[in-house]
Amino acid sequence: MNLKEIVTHPDVNKYIAKIELYLVDIGATHIRKEYKNKECVGIGFSVFNVQKMMHVPYLLTTQVDKCYQNIYEEQYKLSPERLDQLKQLSVRLAWKFLADLVEMKTKLIVTGIVCPMEAFLPYCLAQEDPPVTLIQKIRSNTIQWK
Output phi, psi for 16, to 5 deg.
Answer: -65, -40
Answer whether residue 98 is part of any domain.
yes
Residue 58 pLDDT: 93
Number of domains into which the chain is organized = 1
Answer whether residue 121 is part of any domain.
yes
The residue range of the domain holding 51 is 3-139
Answer whether residue 146 is part of any domain.
no
Answer whether residue 47 is part of any domain.
yes
The dihedral through the CA atoms of 143, 45, 8, 1 has a sign that is: positive
> What are the pLDDT digits (tens) for 81-134?
777 788 888 888 899 999 999 999 999 999 999 999 999 999 998 877 788 888
pTM given for the model: 0.76
Answer whether residue 145 is part of any domain.
no
Answer whether residue 133 is part of any domain.
yes
Residue 103's nearest CA partner among 21, 7, 2, 6 is 21
Residue 123's nearest CA partner among 100, 109, 139, 144 is 139
Answer whether residue 144 is part of any domain.
no
